Structure 1
């Protein structure tokens, strides 16, 4: 099978969130199953020179963006056995960031057409074109309404993965004709119309042969008005084509036994060595050095979605417990400022690092006893899986991928790899933190929880197998999705 991943970001080249982790890890696992998988993404200005110098230009052509024709170069790089194609256009992509520009509608309208044009230019006609989030969501729509007429395009099947339904790519309806070159029939039919605007993600949801989410629970949640972001009706209508496949993590990169970024390596049977890492973090942040005091860590975006309202509500009560708290992240100013002020009030209990450092994140995972992730919603979440891999026990809200990966400890059966609460309620979270702390002081029980957490399989193997089955099912069909 030939698979082409169409993405807006991909590790290790360009990353702003979990999509880059998926695009960087899943293709490698699929390749190990015998799939010819390639990845296409923009050539951003932020990509390291180390990679740019290894790229080879393979094609040049023009792309129609409404009434304009824009240059497109395709550069190729083979990295860790995977072929990557980079869409080169400095006007659109040579910028300091990936997203958040006034012309994002134009930038990604161009990218969608550039990727479709590149298929013929590269003479690589995939069996399945796998698109991700709103940035490449118009590809299935353009394929079904226009490109299917071209030689080689008619049999291409499409999969569209929702990584976060909250971000949909909503733009004024003028984008339809001016940038995408589509007539207003697409708007009037309701395929792309969204409360008077056009919605790129809706194009993918309407036109893709199959739709996947990044966890089974999130698949169910987005079919409800609470989590459906006003697209729940469409998702319910397509529920037969909607599949939840849980993400994994790169178990080579996140491996406490060999991680070069941490002070002391350890495995599940040498878990006691983890205390060295805790001591180093306490020293680094100026916390009292106490092996017996549990260390609770958050590594997160400081936003409402990540549960910072709950943290703000009961942080003082948490700090009354015998616990030290370290928070790493950046986000909304109001949360950053609140945490900085709280850290000044509790200098021996709370430390806050507003920013992000990959090395510091690894050190914190390796030092933490507990990992707090009280998300309002969480399509999948990687932090809780990384934490468990490092023996940091997660405290999570039962939503999305958190619900699928963290099984609350049951003191009667002795089974469980973390702690969880159901309602998005600050005092439910506080009670769960207090409950986790009480078990921490019962070391035989705690070691059992840690063992269950560290021994669980968090790799991409099962995810890749599920996707390969989905691809095979689509390829076996002679027909494509008709809308």
Structure 2
């Protein structure tokens, strides 16, 4: 079974979030289940130079983008046993940012066609399935049927489309349909790509893929409801028979408390490693060592989806508790500036780092006692899985993958591995944080039991990879 992964980012080459984590770890897990997997992604200029020096050129060929014929180079690198292929075109991918460019529609329309064209040039690899991820590759199922239906290599290929976050859909002006996609007006209808007067790339994937998945079972149900459906809930209900939710996993080699190179003290080195890593984190952040106080962490994009309005609404109340707080992330200016102001008012209790920093992220997972994730919605979420891997208990809202992965503490039975609340309400969030902090102070045996139960959870890719392989087999 030969699988092509078409994806916009993959760790360690490029990672801006969970999509890059999946691109970097799921292919290896699938290969471990017996599939033959290769990954195709853009050759961004932001890929570190030490990787780009190792890319081996294979060939080059023209790619049609409506009336244009654009150069495409195909380069290869084997990384951890997986073949990665890179689509090279400096006009589209030599940019200062990975996303957010003025010609985003044209860039990823080119990438979609380049993926399909490159199948003709992959050495000794005839794919059975193209697995497409998020709106950047959502045109592939449509283009496969529209432009390659008579090509012998392509016509038997099936497609799977995975929604990582329905909020980001790739919505562009009407003129993109002809000028960039090369499609006629029959596709500008409500039952095709038309979306409130615009063209919606995500909708192409939802309508034309043979199977649709998303990254948690609960999110697969939620997005069929108007509240979570981002105005595509009708399409998703229409295709619910081919829609499934398969939970993401995390890379247990990268997130391993026993061997993590970013930790001051690996968990295998000391029975007090958790406490020693907390002290190291406090020192590195300039927080005074408050022995016996719980440390609350948050590793997140600072955007509306992640519940930052709830955090800011009750931040003063949280900081009145005997706790310290660290937040790591970048995002919307209004959230960054208000958090920075609060950090300035509470320098001994609150540290903010406005950056994306993998090393500090690992240190926060290892050194914190609680991880805050009060998300408005969360397709899967991986920070809570990483935190539990290091014995850090998550405080989450019961939505999407957070509901699927965190078992709330039951004070009567002792079951659970975290804390949760149901309604998107700041004071419900606050009460849940207060409950967790109270347990930390007043019932150490129960707290330690929850930590052990969190440690024991299995969030490796094995189970999810098996589910994907079964899905692939159902198509063949």
TM > 0.5 fold call: yes
CA distance in 2, matches of 1:306, 1:189: 31
Give CA-to-partner distance per residue, 1:418-471, whole Å, 9 cap, x none.
000000100000000000011112111100000000111010001100000000
Give CA-to-partner distance per residue, 1:27-77, whole Å, 9 cap, x none.
001111111100001000011121111111112110111111100110011
Alpha carbons of structure 1 residues 60 and 222: separation in structure 2 relative to 1, 3 Å: same
Q: What is the CA-CA distance between 1:190 and the residue it aligns to?
A: 2.8
Match of 1:395 in 2: 395
Q: What is the CA-CA distance between 1:188 and the residue it aligns to?
A: 3.2
Match of 1:385 in 2: 385
Q: What is the CA-CA distance between 1:189 and the residue it aligns to?
A: 6.3
Match of 1:274 in 2: 274
Does residue 147 (structure 1) correspond to residue 156 (structure 2)? The answer is no
- Paired residues of 1:59 and 1:122 also in contact (CA < 8 A): no
Aligned-partner SS, 1:282: helix
Mean Cα displacement is larger for which, 340-349 or 281-290? 281-290
Q: What is the CA-CA distance between 1:334 and the residue it aligns to?
A: 1.2
1:74-223 alignment runs, 5 A limit: 74-122=74-122, 124-188=125-189, 190-223=191-224
Give CA-to-partner distance per residue, 1:347-387, whole Å, 9 cap, x none.
22111111121111111111101110101001000100000
CA distance in 1, matches of 2:54, 2:209: 34
CA distance in 2, matches of 1:348, 1:189: 55
Normalising by structure 1, report the TM-score. Answer: 0.96
Match of 1:255 in 2: 256
CA distance in 2, matches of 1:36, 1:153: 17
Match of 1:478 in 2: none
Alpha carbons of structure 1 residues 377 and 271: separation in structure 2 relative to 1, 3 Å: farther
Mean Cα displacement is larger for which, 408-417 or 45-54? 45-54
Match of 2:294 in 1: 294
CA distance in 2, matches of 1:104, 1:36: 31
Structure 2: state its 5+ residue gaps. none
1:268-417 alignment runs, 5 A limit: 272-417=272-417
Q: What is the CA-CA distance between 1:411 and the residue it aligns to?
A: 0.9
1:39-58 alignment runs, 5 A limit: 39-58=39-58
CA distance in 2, matches of 1:109, 1:122: 20
- Paired residues of 1:256 and 1:266 also in contact (CA < 8 A): yes
Q: What is the CA-CA distance between 1:271 and the residue it aligns to?
A: 5.3
Deviating beyond 4 angstroms after TM superposition, the runs of 4 or more aligned structure 1 residues are none
Give CA-to-partner distance per residue, 1:385-432, whole Å, 9 cap, x none.
000001111000001100000010001111000000000100000000
1:238-249 alignment runs, 5 A limit: 238-249=239-250
Match of 1:70 in 2: 70
- Paired residues of 1:125 and 1:156 also in contact (CA < 8 A): no
Mean Cα displacement is larger for which, 312-321 or 116-125? 116-125
CA distance in 2, matches of 1:352, 1:233: 41
Give CA-to-partner distance per residue, 1:221-272, whole Å, 9 cap, x none.
10000010000001001111000000000111111111011101115x9653
* C-alpha RMSD of the superposition: 1.2
CA distance in 1, matches of 2:236, 2:187: 19
